[in-house]
Amino acid sequence: MKLYFMLFFIFISSVIPQIVVNIETNLQRLLEEEDTDGDKKITVEDKQTKETVGDKRFFIIDENGKKLEIIGTYYLSNLLQEMSLQKKIGREKGILQIKNIFQDPVERLSSQIQKRFWAGLTRRIDASSLEQILSDSKTKTKDGFHYLYVPSQDEIAYQYFASISQQKPSLSLKIVRLPEKITPQWVKELEGFHGILTLGLRKNKEGHLEGIPFIVPGGRFNEMYGWDSYFEALGLLEDGYVDLAKDMVDNFVYEITYYGKILNANRTYYLTRSQPPFLSSMLWSVYKALPQNLESKEWLKRSLLAAIEEYNKVWMGKDRLTAIGLNRYYGEGLGQPPEVEEGHFDAAYHFFAQKHKIPKEKLETHYKKGEIVFSDIDAYFTHDRSMRESGHDTTYRWEDRCADFATVDLNSLLYKTESDIAKILQQEFDGKLIHGDGREETSNAWLKRSQDRKKLMNQYLWNEEDGVFYDYDLANQRQKKYMNATAFYPLWANLATQEQAQRIVEKAIPSLEEAGGIAGSTQEARGEISKERPARQWDYPYGWAPHQIIAWHGLLQYNYDKIVHRLVYRWLYTITRNAVDYNGVVPEKFDVVKRTHQVFAEYGNVGTEFAYITEEGFGWMNASYQIGLNILPNGLLLSLEKLISPEWIFYQKE
């Protein structure tokens, strides 16, 4: 049957390569007949309600009255998407390519990521993109204005944006210079007036200033995020967008130069915290894709010196370097993180209200205003901000005490940073590089740092009995045995021995591998879930793209190719199956046990709310798909491509 369908489809496509249809008429009729739940998508949730309504059989009528019958959820959703694209560009009559409607799902999704999704996620902080960025609900303020904050030292940016504010009063834009020294107290006093932070500007070919472009994660996230950007850059490189990946590094260099760190994201309430440090890996991946010339070498030098600056001032600073010589996440700031949705901390305020014998509403109101101070509540929010800096917000992994832990992921990342810098200095700069102020960086010094860290990680984090690296609880001076996906970070960083790698594989793969890929943690580690202890999105049963990519690349370094191929297939199957059944959806995360994007933990699932067609997918999920396809061997790729059972198509004259 499949062979017959393929031959029949090839015949139909060659005889009828395209049809011309009235877009609005067919689009509305399709929705009326097949979108039975009214969500402006055609999915497996659209159940048949009458004899012909919702039966997943639809006749599209061309301009000559001929009919093309299309059968099946996937093909009908493709038809809906193709007509939506025609409507978007204002066509009353549109040309529909038959091959696009019946396109193989893997080819279709990969092509959409490459040709449409990356463009849909691209932003700039300049006149061309401000209206789109400011339309974000997170830019609302007490006085109704939109606030754009500019570093005190960036006079060019200040003049540029002040001019835009005057030229476009409809933006209701206020330009504010940041103070030379940004303190947690200053950030707290911005409550109600938070806004976007500028990123890099450059001159285009015409000599006009433009924003350096970047990729946003998608959905409600309309800014450049720290660790998301590394994985997005890998996806961009996979798809040939080398310049855009390079631009993202340039924006990070801007952040380090003017804000002192790579920010959680470029909004004012993130000024006091960073995110997991991937810059050395990111800039090295980009550099290897650039032309190997003097201009690229100079770019590498600037980027590397910025990475070194951040390493020294942020990660090796007093707040994040611990007494044992390893590092922790530490989110500076005062009070409750202002970006969190209303009600998110209800359980915490309830707990502290009972503890301090104060009504919850009174405690919350007065604490937010700074009218009462409790050290235990302050400590709770310090740990919460630290958890958000880790990128793993939220998880039961640290028992709401994130700043008390020297973590496997952070120290693996810093080992990788140290190793990268040593390697780049040795390979590209003859082992030595000089700062503008005369300070010297040598390959040997950075190699020693990495080796010292490796020894400390083996001393404090490696568990010989269990055969895995665990986080170290600094407050209680013991390891925290919480099996989670960061177990693969030491493999990705290439710090584990071959023997350790084998032990990690034997322990972590059976524990964390699920039908849809690697889970954030084991069910046992997470513990029981209840109304008082709700599910958290970075724990079991949820799976995330960065964890998959880290695991794949880490295992490949130790020659566990067959395991990687299996893990990649499971993840790509999950993405493809959900895209096929749910109108092309590409979400933020999955339930990897049930292999579904229908996730009901904490913040829902970004990337699932759209009408007709998704224009962007989700950044690191897009990247994982393209990276995974490049890893998957031909046999498994062919199996993935055959995911959709053939459906009959029939063309007849009215």
Fill in the amino acid letter for 605.
N
Contact 261, 310 (CB under 8 A): yes
Q: Which of 166, 183, 211 is the last residue of a domain?
A: 211
- HSE, CB side, 13 Å, CA atoms: give it for residue 291: 4
The answer to whether residue 69 is domain-embedded is yes
The pLDDT of residue 654 is above 50: no
Residue 609 among the catalytic residues:
no
The answer to whether residue 326 is domain-embedded is no
Round to whole Å and give the CA distance between 169 and 302. 37
The pLDDT of residue 652 is above 50: no
CATH number of residue 542's parent domain? 1.50.10.10
List, for residues 129-152, the tens digit of each pLDDT value. 999 898 888 888 999 999 999 999
Confidence at residue 51, expressed as pLDDT on a 0 to 100 scale = 83
Q: Which of 176, 211, 246 is the last residue of a domain?
A: 211
Q: Provide CB contacts within 8 A for 248, sequence distance 6+.
A: 214, 215, 224, 229, 232, 233, 236, 282
Residue 69: beta bridge partners?
A: 59, 650
Confidence at residue 342, expressed as pLDDT on a 0 to 100 scale = 84
Mean pLDDT, rounded, for 472-485: 98
Q: Which of 182, 211, 240 is the last residue of a domain?
A: 211
Residues 95 and 136 in one domain: no
Q: Count how many domains the chain has.
A: 3
Mean pLDDT, rounded, for 80-84: 97
CA nearest to 12, candidates 65, 70, 57, 61:
70
Confidence at residue 648, expressed as pLDDT on a 0 to 100 scale = 40
In this predicted model, which residue has the larger pLDDT, 651 or 541? Answer: 541
The answer to whether residue 522 is domain-embedded is yes
Confidence at residue 138, expressed as pLDDT on a 0 to 100 scale = 81
Which residue in 126, 420, 441, 588 is the catalytic one? Answer: 588
Residues 203 and 95 in one domain: no
Q: Is the pTM of this model over 0.85?
A: yes
Residues 71 and 166 in one domain: no
Confidence at residue 338, expressed as pLDDT on a 0 to 100 scale = 87
The answer to whether residue 37 is domain-embedded is yes
Domain of 179, in residue numbers: 126-211
The answer to whether residue 614 is domain-embedded is yes
438 by DSSP, 3-state: which?
Answer: coil
Q: Which helix (H) or strand (E) holds 477?
A: none
Confidence at residue 16, expressed as pLDDT on a 0 to 100 scale = 67
Residues 135 and 83 in one domain: no
Token duo for residue 154:
């960036």
Residues 90 and 153 in one domain: no
Mean pLDDT, rounded, for 483-489: 98
Residue 346 among the catalytic residues:
no
Q: At 194, give phi and psi (nearest 5°).
A: -70, 155
Confidence at residue 52, expressed as pLDDT on a 0 to 100 scale = 82
Residue 327: beta bridge partners?
A: 321
Residues 590 and 548 in one domain: yes
List, for residues 12-25, the tens digit of each pLDDT value. 555 568 999 999 99
* pLDDT tier for residue 464 given thresholds of 50, 70 and 90: very high
* pLDDT tier for residue 644 given thresholds of 50, 70 and 90: low
The answer to whether residue 136 is domain-embedded is yes
Residues 510 and 572 in one domain: yes
The answer to whether residue 409 is domain-embedded is no
The answer to whether residue 329 is domain-embedded is no
Residues 510 and 623 in one domain: yes
Residues 630 and 503 in one domain: yes
Residues 494 and 637 in one domain: yes
List, for residues 594-607, the tens digit of each pLDDT value. 999 999 888 889 99
DSSP symbol at 602: T
List, for residues 256-309, the tens digit of each pLDDT value. 999 999 999 999 999 999 999 999 999 999 999 999 999 999 999 999 999 999
DSSP string, 198-237: P--EEE-TTS-EEEPPEE--BTTB-S-BHHHHHHHHHHHH
Residues 86 and 131 in one domain: no
Residues 626 and 495 in one domain: yes
Q: Which helix (H) or strand (E) holds 37?
A: none
Which residue in 232, 393, 409, 616 is the catalytic one? Answer: 393
The pLDDT of residue 359 is above 80: yes
Q: At 241, give phi and psi (nearest 5°).
A: -95, 65
